[in-house]
Structure 1
Amino acid sequence: MNREYTAITKQIGEWWVGWIEEIPGVNCQEKTHEELLKSLRITLIEALQFNHEEASSRRVG
């Protein structure tokens, strides 16, 4: 199942900062907007995989 996530990005001084609205803890900071979006994608994928592994390890059965 493909889901859509909302990336909030803004430039603060020389840095770009952003986060994924739906997943707490997925936030990044990079020098360019393109690098920021790439980092957010990678961090989101890692967070989703971690959450899936955590949920799988807690299953009863």
Structure 2
Amino acid sequence: MKKYAVVFEKAPNNWAAYVPDLPGCVTTGRTLEETRRLIRETG
């Protein structure tokens, strides 16, 4: 399985995540835990 770096950013009301090496691989979630789960499902 190939590994990619994920960037997490905290916004005032949610979290965002994206994978710089995979254009379009982005997600947002209400919590960091939710965002981590969602970015795994997206990739």
Identity %: 21
The unaligned stretches of length 5 or more in structure 1 are 45-61
Deviation at 1:22, TM superposition (A): 1.0
- The structure with the largest helix share of the pair is 1
Count matched residues.
43
Deviation at 1:7, TM superposition (A): 0.7
Two-structure CA RMSD over aligned residues (Å): 0.7
The runs of at least 4 consecutive aligned structure 1 residues that moved more than 3 Å come to none
TM-score (ref. length: structure 1): 0.67
The unaligned stretches of length 5 or more in structure 2 are none
Q: Using CA pairs under 8 Å that are at least 6 residues apart, name the structure with larger relative contact order, 1 or 2.
A: 2
TM-score (ref. length: structure 2): 0.91
Larger Rg, first or second structure (1 or 2): 1
